[in-house]
Amino acid sequence: MNASTRQPMSRKKKIAIIVTSIVAVLVVVALVIVAVIRRNFP
C-alpha cells in the first residue's frame, strides 16, 4: 500500500524537476541571446 501511494508523488516530483530544468535551460538560452544581440548591436 505504501509503495502504491508513493508512486504518484514521485512522478509529480520527477515532472516538477523536469519542468524546472527546462525553464532553467530556457532562461540561460535567453540570456545568451540577449548578450549576443547587445554585442552585435551596441
- For residue 11, count other CB atoms closer than 10 A to its CB: 10
Whether pLDDT at 22 is above 50: yes
Whether pLDDT at 3 is above 60: no
Q: Which three cell numbers stand for residue 40?
A: 552585435
Cα(13)–Cα(11) distance, integer angstroms: 5
Q: Torsion over CA of 2, 3, 7 and 13, rounded to 10 degrees? A: 70
Cα(29)–Cα(36) distance, integer angstroms: 11
Cα(26)–Cα(23) distance, integer angstroms: 5
Average pLDDT rounded to a whole number, residues 19-34: 98
Whether pLDDT at 39 is above 90: yes
pTM of the model: 0.60
Whether pLDDT at 32 is above 80: yes
Residue-averaged pLDDT of the chain: 86
Residue 1: its pLDDT value, please? Answer: 47
